[in-house]
Amino acid sequence: KNQVEQSPQSLIILEGKNCTLQCNYTVSPFSNLRWYKQDTGRGPVSLTIMTFSENTKSNGRYTATLDADTKQSSLHITASQLSDSASYICVVSLASGGSYIPTFGRGTSLIVHP
Amino acid sequence: GAGVSQTPSNKVTEKGKYVELRCDPISGHTALYWYRQSLGQGPEFLIYFQGTGAADDSGLPNDRFFAVRPEGSVSTLKIQRTERGDSAVYLCASSLRPGQSYNEQFFGPGTRLTVL
């Protein structure tokens, strides 16, 4: 069964600190991997997307990495801000007959304290 | 519109009742997706439309759930004989091109359904 596992489930850090969120997946055949940020009460918003040939992608203070061989991805947040408090969801897409079949992780809940 | 909109934002109903949830995608987006998100979980895929037709409805949990998109724009998710286990946030997303997983999905704010 295609699965996406994220860790940690939740994380609390102080403002200004860095953190790294992990994503392991078993989805195959792999198409691409996205990291989304979901604020409370809002829909998810895409931060980065990577295909199997890409191993790093940055978006401001967010840097995602991908190791397609080990099926692992990470999202690194630099110099965290209070507005980074949200759920971060890893989404892996399956390449299957042209249909878009995404598998979502449960998300990591990040709380940034002042 | 500027983004994906969903109505109502909140819906409270009684067990056994029928509900309709509406999604207005971004203008010009041909692909539309419905997801269900339970507390503390990631979104769970329900159904994907390419234009007016359901290209993939493999995520619908049972035949109480049905979705339509008659004119290729607005979509309605319909739930019959609601059960308490249907309580969740129902998210809608749209993307510019159908059938391309590289295309970013833009999500609406969701409808929070509570079945008493």
Please give the pLDDT value at position A102.
Answer: 80
Enumerate the residues of chain A whose CB falls inside 8 A of the CB of residue B35.
104
Q: Does A93 touch chain B (CB under 8 A)?
A: yes
pLDDT digits (tens, 9 = 90+) for A67-97: 988 999 999 999 999 999 999 999 998 776 5
CA distance B101 to B31: 11
Please give the pLDDT value at position B96.
Answer: 84
CA distance A78 to A59: 11
- What are the b/e assignments for A16-49, b being 16+ CB within 10 Å? eeebebebbbebeebbbbbbbbbeeeebbebbbb
Q: Who has greater pLDDT, A48 or A31?
A: A48
CA distance A97 to A74: 28
Please give the pLDDT value at position A103.
Answer: 86
Residue B28, burial from CB neighbour count under 10 angstroms (0-12, 13-18, 19+): exposed
pLDDT digits (tens, 9 = 90+) for B46-75: 999 988 988 889 899 999 999 999 998 999
Q: Which of B42, B45, B91 sits opposite A106 (nearest CB)?
A: B42
For chain A positions 17-56, those within 8 Å of chain B (CB to CB) are 31-32, 34, 41-46, 49, 51
CB A38 within 8 Å of CB A89: yes
Residue A19 confidence (pLDDT) above 80:
yes
Q: Which of B43, B48, B56 sits opposite A104 (nearest CB)?
A: B43
Please give the pLDDT value at position B100.
Answer: 58
Please give the pLDDT value at position A100.
Answer: 65
- pLDDT over 70 percentage in chain A: 92
Chain-chain contact of B109 with A42 (C-beta, under 8 angstroms): yes
Q: Are strands A56-59 and A108-113 parallel, antiparallel or unpaired?
A: unpaired
Token pair listed for B53 = 């037709």
B98 — pLDDT class (breaks 50, 70, 90):
low
Average pLDDT over residues A13-25: 97
Token pair listed for B50 = 């390419």
CA distance A104 to A101: 10
Q: Who has greater pLDDT, B42 or B20?
A: B20
Q: How far is A90 from chain B (nearest CA, A)?
A: 9
CB B55 within 8 Å of CB A98: no
